[in-house]
């Protein structure tokens, strides 16, 4: 082996695809998807397979006390902070073969490719497998990365239980994770995660790469309206206390409020419930949710303000009791400019058809971004489908994304040609 020009190094797309398919055999479902929920035997079988591949590629593998797994390729100056990548291997109960898995195996592909071209980077490189990203079995999405980032106390994570009453602590112990292992956060120079988009935009615009600049702000409201149950026949319209009138008044104003904030605004009324829910009774009570998202902080704040004001004025206008309550919020994330630039430059150097975009979903990178410079790369997935057994992606897009990851990581790991 000899040293090649690092700018010419490419991943092996065939190996990446065959490993994705091999991982997909573990916990395979009859409909072609995967069920490897966090901290099940299947999840750990997948991690074992990854560990074997990583060790064969010369990596050391360690697992921290919350079950995050790190495969490390040493740096030429091994005391330098690591350049990190990775994602998750756990899936939804009816998940796909690509969500998370792609980011982990693309990271391994970066290491394999550097090995094959005998490229030593000054900074060490690590591929992280974050524990319980999906949060479907244990109800805390992005659990492992949250503990690592210091945003979730480890004891709170240990205490989470599944529907059968098993706790995260019990399952980690059962699977042989050493709870005394260090939980300290290694110094990280930069972290990149490559992931399928989980939405339709790249495919629709025929782009192969999304340069992810951040994650949008998200908030969920719950609105309750109190009316009075009454017979649908004998009660004249003007003598009812009908909570649906509030919905009828609010909805057009809510959609108008979203439309005012441009194409990136998202407003979803996902649940509408009436009590008692009878066709011939005026409801005594109405509950509905409003999910609001926007990547721009000022627009988001303005939209949220208008949503609250619209609901309050509809309550007042109909002279009915009730309230609008914030029940959940995830503040937006702006990714590190240097990481975004590294991705942008790599995509340009590789002549990829790329667009800049924000993520509509949460990722481990949201937690990482709170403590280390972070960025993300998206690739298209068929029909924008994810969290679905039919989840699919094209080998050439997956290969392109892994090459962008490789070149961006090389630039961040400070490859200096001729130094070998
Ligand atoms: Zn994911």
Q: How far is the CA of 393 from the centre of ligand 1 (A)?
A: 14
**pLDDT tens, residue by residue, 255-285:** 999 999 999 999 999 999 999 999 999 999 9
CB neighbours of 259 closer than 8 A, spacing ≥ 6?
Answer: 265
Distance 387 CA to ligand 1 centre (A): 9
> What separation in Å is there between the alpha carbon of 234 and the centre of ligand 1?
54
CA 24 / ligand 1 centre spacing (Å) = 15
Q: What is the per-residue pLDDT across 193-211, written as a single tens digit (0 to 9) for each?
A: 999 999 999 999 999 999 9
Mean pLDDT of the chain: 95
Query: Shortest CA distance to 117 belongs to which of 406, 414, 412, 411?
Result: 406
Residue 137 C-alpha to ligand 1 middle, in angstroms?
15
Distance, CA 145 to ligand 1 centroid (Å)? Answer: 12
Q: How confident is the model at residue 164 (pLDDT cuts 50, 70, 90)?
A: very high
**How many Å lie between the centroid of ligand 1 and the Cα of residue 87?**
7
245 C-alpha to ligand 1 centroid (Å) = 40
| 414 pLDDT tier (thresholds 50, 70, 90) | confident
Report how far ligand 1's centroid is from the alpha carbon of 355 (Å). Answer: 20
Average of per-residue pLDDT across 104-110: 98
Mean pLDDT of all residues in 26-36:
96
Query: What is the rounded average pLDDT of the residues 320-349?
Result: 96
- For residue 361, the CA-to-ligand 1 centroid distance in Å is 9
Average pLDDT over residues 333-349: 97
Report the pLDDT value the prediction gives residue 78, as an integer from 0 to 100.
94
pLDDT digits (tens, 9 = 90+) for 229-244: 999 999 999 999 999 9
Q: Find the 334 Cα to ligand 1 centroid distance in Å.
A: 18
Compute, in angstroms, the gap from residue 100 CA to the centroid of ligand 1. Answer: 4
How high is the pLDDT of residue 6? Answer: 87
Mean pLDDT of 68-96: 97
pLDDT in tens, 165-183: 999 999 999 999 999 999 9
Distance 80 CA to ligand 1 centre (A): 29
Interval 125-129 mean pLDDT = 98
Q: How far is the CA of 325 from the centre of ligand 1 (A)?
A: 29
The residue among 279 and 416 whose pLDDT is bigger is 279
For residue 1, pLDDT over 50 is answered with no
CA–centroid distance, residue 146 to ligand 1 (Å): 14
Distance 198 CA to ligand 1 centre (A): 9
How much distance in Å is there from the Cα of 381 to the middle of ligand 1? 12
Contacts of 108 (CB under 8 A, 6+ apart): 19, 50, 53, 54, 57, 71, 127
Q: What percent of the chain stands above pLDDT 70? A: 98
* 96 CA → ligand 1 middle, Å: 10
Q: pLDDT confidence of 382, banded at 50, 70, 90?
A: very high
- Using an 8 Å Cβ cutoff, are 312 and 324 in contact? yes
Residue 224: band (very low, low, confident or very high) from pLDDT cuts 50, 70, 90: very high
Confidence of residue 325 (pLDDT cuts 50, 70, 90): very high
Question: What pLDDT is attached to residue 166?
Answer: 98
Q: What is the pLDDT of residue 392?
A: 94
Counting residues of the chain whose pLDDT is more than 90, the rounded percentage is 94
Residue 133 alpha carbon to ligand 1 centre in Å:
7
- Ligand 1 geometric centre to CA of 127 (Å): 15
* Strands 285-294 and 82-87, bridge-based pairing: unpaired
Distance of CA 2 from the midpoint of ligand 1 (Å) = 36
Task: Give 151 Cα–ligand 1 centroid separation in angstroms.
Answer: 19
From ligand 1's centre to the CA of 306, what distance in Å? Answer: 32
Measure 172 CA to ligand 1 centroid, in angstroms: 21
Q: Is the pLDDT of residue 2 over 60?
A: no
Expressed in angstroms and rounded, the spacing between residue 415 Cα and the centre of ligand 1 is 29
Give the model's pLDDT for residue 395.
Answer: 97
Q: Separation of 49 CA from ligand 1 center, angstroms?
A: 19
């Amino acid at each position: 082996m000899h040293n090649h020009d690092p700018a010419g190094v490419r991943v092996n797309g065939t190996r990446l695809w065959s490993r994705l398919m091999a991982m997909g055999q573990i916990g395979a479902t009859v409909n072609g998807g995967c069920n490897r929920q966090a901290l099940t035997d299947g999840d750990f079988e997948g991690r074992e397979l990854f560990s074997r591949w990583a060790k064969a590629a010369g990596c050391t593998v360690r697992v921290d006390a919350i079950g995050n797994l790190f495969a490390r390729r040493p740096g030429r100056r091994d005391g330098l902070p690591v350049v990190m990548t990775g994602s998750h291997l756990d899936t939804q109960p009816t998940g796909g073969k690509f969500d998370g898995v792609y980011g982990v195996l693309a990271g391994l592909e970066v290491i394999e490719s550097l090995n094959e071209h005998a490229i030593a980077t000054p900074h060490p490189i690590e591929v992280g497998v974050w524990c319980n990203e999906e949060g479907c079995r244990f109800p805390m999405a992005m659990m492992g990365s949250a503990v690592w980032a210091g945003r979730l106390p480890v004891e709170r994570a240990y205490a989470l239980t599944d529907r059968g009453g098993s706790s995260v602590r019990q399952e980690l112990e059962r699977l042989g994770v050493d709870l005394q292992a260090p939980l300290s956060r290694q110094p990280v120079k930069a972290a990149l995660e490559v992931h399928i988009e989980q939405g339709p935009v790249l495919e629709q615009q025929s782009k192969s790469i999304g340069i992810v600049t951040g994650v949008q702000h998200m908030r969920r409201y719950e609105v309750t309206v109190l009316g009075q149950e009454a017979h649908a026949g004998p009660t004249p319209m003007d003598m009812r206390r009908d909570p649906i009138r509030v919905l009828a008044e609010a909805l057009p104003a809510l959609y108008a409020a979203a439309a005012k904030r441009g194409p990136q605004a998202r407003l979803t009324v996902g649940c509408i419930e009436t009590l008692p829910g009878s066709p011939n009774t005026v409801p005594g009570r109405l509950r509905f949710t409003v999910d609001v998202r926007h990547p721009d902080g000022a627009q988001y704040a303005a939209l949220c303000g208008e949503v609250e004001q619209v609901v309050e004025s509809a309550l007042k206008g109909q002279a009915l009791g009730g309230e609008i309550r914030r029940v959940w919020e995830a503040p937006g994330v702006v990714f590190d400019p240097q990481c975004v630039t590294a991705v942008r430059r790599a995509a340009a150097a590789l002549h990829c058809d790329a667009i800049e975009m924000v993520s509509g979903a949460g990722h481990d990178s949201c937690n990482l971004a709170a403590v280390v410079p972070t960025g993300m790369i998206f690739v298209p997935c068929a029909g924008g489908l994810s969290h679905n057994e039919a989840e699919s992606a094209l080998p050439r897009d997956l290969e392109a994304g892994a090459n962008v990851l490789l070149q961006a990581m090389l630039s961040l790991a400070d490859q200096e040609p001729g130094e070998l």
